[in-house]
Amino acid sequence: MLAWFLQNEGLERADKWSSVVFGSVSAGAVCVCVLTWLWRLGNTDPGSERESVLSRLAAAQREQWAAEQAARRVCEPWPLNVRWTANAQTQAVMASWASVRQSAGAGPVDVDSDYARIASVFDRDDIPKRLVMLGEPGSGKSMLAIQLTLQLLAVRRACEPVAVLLSAASWNPVQSLDDWIADQLIAQDRSLVRTTPGPNAEPRSLARDLVACGFVLPVLDGLDELDDHMQRAALIGLSSAAATGRDFVVTCRTKPYQAAVQTCGPIPAAVVVELQPVPATEAAEHLADGPGPTDRRWSAVLAHLRNESGTPLTQALSTPLMIWLTRMVYRNTGRAPEELLTADWAASREGIEQHLLDHLIPATYPGQVDSTRRWLSTLATHLREYRFHDLAWWRISDIRPAPAAHVISIVYVILAAMVTPILAVSVLGASGWGGYFSGYYAFAIGAGIGMTVSFARLLFTDRHYPRRLTSRGVLRSFAVVGAVLFSVPIVGGVSPLKAIICAISGGVVTALASSAEPAPSATTPPASLAMDRNAALASAATIGGAIAAMTTPALLVPEPMLWAASAGIVLAAGLAAVLVSAWGQFCVATLVLAALRKLPLRLSRSLADAQERGVLRRAGSVYQFRHALLRDRLAHPPPVESATDDRSVPV
């Protein structure tokens, strides 16, 4: 159609027509944008819009944590009714009841609760919604945090705060609590980044507005996962937030919290409770509900739990984690639970706990124990070395020796970004075809500039996080780059038609190749991987397609060297676009580490499988080990006898 138009109108008249059309379209687009903005401004009720956002946030939280609760099999065969209480130990790390109740001389109130009615503590009007849950390792703090979040979401009414469960391990207390929570909300839902008027009409993000106005109740799980000095800084940050009236829930191991309070003092006006051990009789009932009626392997263990107290076994099986491990390790009829009473390692609580941790992998991966333990140990060691708690697929490239391959690939990308646009224009010139239609040079120059801008954006943005393509990002990039590439040639005296061709080609290339935005953190790991892969492939296809279009005239020339150069440039540029993405770096790292037998080749599938087996758990777009005790044990595995191993890396 463009060729027919040029043939019938001529280049000079086409230039004039292009100016008229482009100006009309631009004016129309501006009018539509202004009218749409004015319509939204006049028809938006701030209260209803805020409640709509809160309802969407609550639904996302409910969906995410209900799925994770089911994946952790908390209700198999039924949830352990873990209890908490305020006792002398919690009083030592808690502010006075007068501070908690904000009344001089006020005495204690009953805050004891359990798993089934955990949210009832927030029904009281005489204490703030500010709670610290302490407990020993494996006592069920994370399980209770999920249950509390779900119960609060279930009873939430319109315009009430939304409970949001967050991992405290990702908080750097240099940042204020409110700012960090707002950043976490934006990471989960990019729509919360849009601005809204704040105090004194100063703009701030919608997420920051929700937090500042008290519409978010953060549930911070795992304060003890921070370093010691970070824990102290976090405690100071929580105290500052409490002083401003901010409500929150925090979980932490007992001893680290005691140490932090000794240094920094207690959080003002916060109730501190401690999770209680699971009674041995309840542990017995829980274990007895699994085996069939003809399974007599458990008889001695169940009798011991029901009739004895203070023994190594009753002490070891006093936490939900160890009870779950016992069910997993001895679900195979080939192993006798009676060894929990008779083996040498059963003489102490620590011996029983280490035995259960060591035998989880053989129980969940029969036939591939050594290979599975090897790659899980690689990941556990990596997390301990970098002091990470979250196992993010886009951080796999940090595992040695993958960083060396990462550096090499980035050097390649830089060279490709510098060379491929120049080579593509050179091939076009060598073909001699530009003389037949000089507008093709305008297309080539626009596409070349678009590729250069795209590579620059890809290289200088954080490639360590997954990204996704959005229509908003594509349109914004196209508008900005297209406007620049149209206006600059016009100022330089270039005809409007060539300026339009240059603007469209450069704008399209930039928009599709480098406009991807950070993917929401509330998605699952496979979903975030797929988002980044799609963005990377779109970038590669756009850049490769642009170069292919630029060098197409070379195919009309009977010169094999030009054909080979065209194909080589297309492949080199497309590969560079993939390598600069988080997915590309993940693929490179996986290939390198799989060749060294450190990780499975199909790592994404193996991680999802480990989560289904209960070895890993999911927290948004990242995985975590089922418990820090399991992670630490895998990071320093002892020599353990294993079942028959197929000696192959699972795929």
The CATH number linked to 61 is 3.40.50
Please report which confidence band the pLDDT of residue 155 belongs to, taking 50, 70 and 90 as the band edges: very high
- pLDDT of 260 over the 70 cut: yes
Give the lowest-confidence range in 335-339, 439-443, 484-488. Answer: 484-488
- pLDDT of 436 over the 80 cut: no
Q: Is the same domain home to 337 and 441?
A: no
Please report which confidence band the pLDDT of residue 14 belongs to, taking 50, 70 and 90 as the band edges: very low
Q: Is the same domain home to 236 and 333?
A: no
- Is 367 within 8 Å of 644 (Cβ atoms)? yes
- pLDDT of 163 over the 80 cut: yes
| Mean pLDDT in residue range 356-381 | 92
Q: Is the same domain home to 77 and 205?
A: yes
Which structural domain, as residue segments, surrounds residue 63?
46-275
Q: Which of 568, 586, 604 delimits the end of a domain? A: 586
Query: From CA 102, how far away is CA 11, in angstroms rounded?
Result: 81
What percent of the chain has pLDDT above 90? 40
- Tell me the pLDDT tens digit for each residue of 297-356: 889 999 999 998 899 999 999 999 999 999 999 987 678 899 999 999 999 999 999 999
Does residue 634 form part of some domain? no
Query: From CA 573, how far away is CA 454, in angstroms rounded?
Result: 11
H-only helix segments in 167-309? 177-188, 206-212, 228-243, 254-264, 280-288, 299-307
Q: How high is the pLDDT of residue 516?
A: 60
Does residue 221 form part of some domain? yes
Name the residue among 510, 497, 495 with its Cα closest to residue 448.
510
Q: How high is the pLDDT of residue 5?
A: 45
Does residue 59 form part of some domain? yes
Name the residue among 501, 492, 495, 513 with its Cα closest to residue 450.
513
Query: From CA 379, how far away is CA 387, in angstroms rounded?
Result: 12
Q: Is the same domain home to 432 and 571?
A: yes
Q: Is the same domain home to 66 and 135?
A: yes
| Mean pLDDT in residue range 280-286 | 94
Q: Is the same domain home to 243 and 290?
A: no
Per the prediction, the chain carries an average pLDDT of 79
Q: How high is the pLDDT of residue 573?
A: 73
Give the lowest-confidence range in 150-154, 481-485, 641-645. Answer: 641-645
Number of domains in the chain: 3
- pLDDT of 158 over the 60 cut: yes
Query: From CA 461, how far away is CA 76, in angstroms rounded?
Result: 45
Q: How high is the pLDDT of residue 233?
A: 94
DSSP state of 158: T
DSSP state of 467: E
Please report which confidence band the pLDDT of residue 438 belongs to, taking 50, 70 and 90 as the band edges: low
| Mean pLDDT in residue range 556-560 | 60
Q: Is the same domain home to 433 and 559?
A: yes
- Is 209 within 8 Å of 192 (Cβ atoms)? no
Q: Is the same domain home to 284 and 261?
A: no
Name the residue among 78, 83, 77, 58 with its Cα closest to residue 140.
83
Does residue 378 form part of some domain? no
Please report which confidence band the pLDDT of residue 579 belongs to, taking 50, 70 and 90 as the band edges: confident
Name the residue among 625, 623, 629 with its Cα closest to residue 604.
623
Q: How high is the pLDDT of residue 23?
A: 46
What percent of the chain has pLDDT above 70? 67
Q: Is the same domain home to 423 and 316?
A: no
Q: List, in sequence order, every beta strand (DSSP E) within 510-621.
A: 517-518, 616-619
Q: What is the secondary structure of 353-380 as a DSSP string?
A: HHHHHHTHHHHHSTT-HHHHHHHHHHHH
One-letter amino acid at 223 equals L
- pLDDT of 61 over the 90 cut: yes
Does residue 244 form part of some domain? yes
Write out the H or E segment, with its range, that includes residue 132.
strand 130-135
Q: How high is the pLDDT of residue 523?
A: 75
One-letter amino acid at 389 equals H
Q: Is the same domain home to 256 and 294?
A: no
| Mean pLDDT in residue range 23-29 | 47
Query: From CA 338, how far away is CA 51, in angstroms rounded?
Result: 56
Q: Is the same domain home to 298 and 157?
A: no
Name which residue leads in pLDDT, 627 or 508. 627
Does residue 591 form part of some domain? no
- Tell me the pLDDT tens digit for each residue of 74-127: 888 889 999 999 998 999 999 998 888 888 878 888 888 899 888 888 888 888
Query: From CA 412, how far away is CA 580, in angstroms rounded?
Result: 10
Name which residue leads in pLDDT, 247 or 196. 247
Q: Which of 275, 310, 334 delimits the end of a domain? A: 275
Does residue 371 form part of some domain? no
Q: Which of 226, 254, 275 delimits the end of a domain? A: 275
β-strand pairing of 130-135 with 248-253 = parallel
How would you label 19-49 residue by residue, b for 16+ Cβ within 10 Å and e otherwise?
beebeeeeeeeeeeeeeeeeeeeeeeeeeee
Please report which confidence band the pLDDT of residue 455 belongs to, taking 50, 70 and 90 as the band edges: low
Give the lowest-confidence range in 26-40, 314-328, 362-376, 403-417. Answer: 26-40
Name which residue leads in pLDDT, 422 or 159. 159
Distance of CA 26 to the CA centre of its chain: 39
Q: Is the same domain home to 538 and 578?
A: yes
Does residue 67 form part of some domain? yes
Write out the H or E segment, with its range, that includes residue 425.
helix 402-431
